Amino acid sequence: MLEMLLRPAPMLRVAGLHAGYGDVEVLHGLDFTVGWGGITALLGANGAGKTTTLRALCGMIRAAGRVQLEGADIAGLATEDIARRGVGHVPDGRGTLMELTVEENLRLGAYTRRRGEEAADLRRVFGYFPRLRQRLRQQAGTLSGGEQQMLAIGRALLLRPKLLLLDEPSFGLAPLVVREIFGIMRRISADDGVSILLVEQNAGLALELADTAFLLETGRIVTAGPAAELRENAAIRRSYLGY
Amino acid sequence: MDEFLHQVLSGVASGGIYASVALALVMIFQATHHVNFAQGEMAMFSTFIALALIEAGVPYWGAFAITVLLSLILGAAIQRVLLTPMAGSPVLASVGVFIGLLLIFNSIAGWLFGYTLKPFPTPFEGPPVLGGFVTRHDLGSTAVTLAVLGGVYGFFRFTNLGLAMRAAAYNPVSSRLMGIRVGRMLALGWGLAAAIGAIAGMMVAPVVFLDPNMMSGVLLYAFAGALLGGISNPLGAVFGGFAIGVIENLAGAYLVGPELKLTLALAIIVAVLTVRPAGLFGRTVVSRV
């Protein structure tokens, strides 16, 4: 008891997480924690279960196991309630509302906030992504892939999340744009006090950015540790970094 | 010329009714990609509720307001109770539910209120206006229709709740991730559609008289209007509704006579859809990957 009081619960604690689609189980009991602040990377090859993990955390698919946000159970809650508790999720495919304008997308990001409360956050989002301000009236579907990714991150930030889940933000983007977005993620993590859980197939990039990393292989976590250590890990270098 | 003007204005009045019902259809279509075949019967049932209230001594506009509110609740309840469990089921299952609802409302109305044509009061009494071309009722019901359409447009365009309803329709998964309660938005959409339908029913009933089959023709014209304007575009559907009203009236008066006017309207729609499958104003969403 005393120990619990002295050691605050981590931002996210996951224990024995099983999840899948229909009869097919994809995650076979994951255990990991995400600390306060900083960037945690969840790495793994295609099909390892990275996206499934994020979906399971947000109640988008049926899952079993414990998921605690700041010590409070969120497993089994509806997706919208998990979002309202402060979990922002930039999903696979970015979740852009193509038919709506950039401005409307951003307004929706702040949907759960009280009126007026989000103004300062909107300024911060424009600080990170000045291009969004220029494109406010544009239909979101006409943005480039990089701009859509920026919009998706900005939208998620307007929820004022404690925990931000990012699903492959580098997917389909030119290397220069990826650099730009990763740099801004670093700033977001430092300035906004958001804990970031980053899913990436591009392990080299993710390990440069992250503080901590987990390696997922066919639904199980096989390696975990500080990102700097994993960068030096021979097996990881061979399988995922290619040098 | 006077006769022509009279036909046009009268067409605008009935077109407003079609436009309202078309809008109700489009709202549900956008959220679910299904056409609610029961929309007309729900409107008819609401109109019977209004008549019962008026006959019980409630003043017209009081009955109007209560009916709109009850229809909103009824529409939302239908979505919650009957359609929430249908989420993810095949299209034909939903079609079955809609047709079931149509028959249920039709026969309950017949059982409760009878099948004889009943006169329905209009709040817009008095001699014709605008040089005798337009009945007070046509003018008043067009004004009511335009007010409803304007209100709905403003609600979806300028309020956060309306925006959230659009988002829930376009992309429920993404909307949930932003904390939007998609189920409630769908229920509210059904409620709004039912309320719009109820107003259309109360506006058309003084013209066509009230009976359980009152809306079957209206629903067809409304559906035609929605397809003509583009079922993916509420504004287009509203325009389509008005256009069908005018076309129907002019064709009935000058071209083919009342028997074939629906046929002509449908022929025009087929022609339009052959050239533009999305309807006149149907949107094709551009997206870069």
| Domain of residue A227, CATH code | 3.40.50.300
Whole-angstrom distance, CA of residue A19 vs CA of residue A67: 12
Whole-angstrom distance, CA of residue B185 vs CA of residue B162: 9
Domain that holds residue B107: 2-275
- Residue A3 domain-assigned? no
Candidates A91, A99, A111; nearest CB to B179: A111
What is the structure's pLDDT at A97? 92
Q: What are phi and psi of B89, to 5 degrees?
A: -85, 160
- Residue B281 domain-assigned? no
User: What chain A residue is nearest to B30 in terms of C-alpha separation?
Assistant: A99
Q: What is the Rg, in whole angstroms, of the alpha carbon atoms belonging to chain A?
A: 18
Count of domains forming chain A: 1
Q: What is the pLDDT of residues B137-161, one digit of tens each?
A: 989 999 999 999 999 999 988 999 9
List of chain A residues whose C-beta atoms are within 8 Å of the C-beta of residue B163: 100, 104, 107-108, 111
* pLDDT tens-digit profile, chain B (289 residues): 678 888 888 889 899 999 999 999 998 888 877 889 999 999 999 999 999 999 999 999 999 999 999 999 999 999 999 888 887 788 888 889 999 999 999 999 999 999 999 999 999 988 888 777 788 898 999 999 999 999 999 998 899 999 999 999 889 999 999 999 999 999 999 999 999 999 999 999 999 999 999 998 899 899 889 988 888 888 889 999 999 999 888 888 888 877 787 787 778 778 888 888 777 777 655 555 4
Say how many CA atoms lie within 13 Å of B8 toward its Cβ: 5
Q: Are A240 and A234 in contact (CB under 8 A)?
A: no
Q: Are A18 and A28 in contact (CB under 8 A)?
A: yes
Which of A153, A163, A9 has its CA nearest to residue A91?
A153
Mean pLDDT for all residues in chain A: 90
Is some CB atom of chain A closer than 8 A to the CB atom of B175?
yes
List of chain A residues whose C-beta atoms are within 8 Å of the C-beta of residue B177: 58, 79, 83, 88-89, 91, 95, 156
Q: Are A106 and A154 in contact (CB under 8 A)?
A: yes
CB pairs under 8 A between A and B: 81
Q: Are B17 and B252 in contact (CB under 8 A)?
A: no
- Residue A1 domain-assigned? no
pTM: 0.87
Q: What is the pLDDT of residues A99-151, one digit of tens each?
A: 899 999 999 999 998 878 888 889 999 999 999 999 999 999 999 999 999 99
Who contacts B24 (Cβ-Cβ below 8 Å, separation ≥6)?
Answer: B36, B39, B43, B192, B193, B194, B196, B197, B200, B222
In the predicted model, is pLDDT for residue A6 greater than 70?
Answer: no
Who contacts B79 (Cβ-Cβ below 8 Å, separation ≥6)?
Answer: B186, B187, B189, B190, B191
Domain that holds residue A137: 9-241
Distance set, CA B204 to CA A17, A163, B3 (Å): 58, 54, 22
Is some CB atom of chain B closer than 8 A to the CB atom of A160?
no
What is the share, in percent, of chain A residues with pLDDT greater than 70? 95
- Residue B289 domain-assigned? no
Q: Pick the residue of B178, B180, B283, B288 with the most A CBs within 10 A to test the interface with A by mutation.
A: B178
Q: Are A169 and A179 in contact (CB under 8 A)?
A: no
What is the share, in percent, of chain A residues with pLDDT greater than 90? 68
- Residue A4 domain-assigned? no
How far is Cα of residue A124 from the mean position of the Cα atoms in its chain? 19
Whole-angstrom distance, CA of residue B194 vs CA of residue B215: 13
What is the structure's pLDDT at B260? 80
Q: Where are the beta strands (DSSP E) in chain B?
A: none
What is the structure's pLDDT at B61? 96
What is the structure's pLDDT at B239? 92
- Residue B287 domain-assigned? no
Count of domains forming chain B: 1
Question: Domain containing B10 — which CATH number?
Answer: 1.10.3470
Who contacts A87 (Cβ-Cβ below 8 Å, separation ≥6)?
Answer: A57, A58, A69, A74, A161, A162, A163, A164, A165
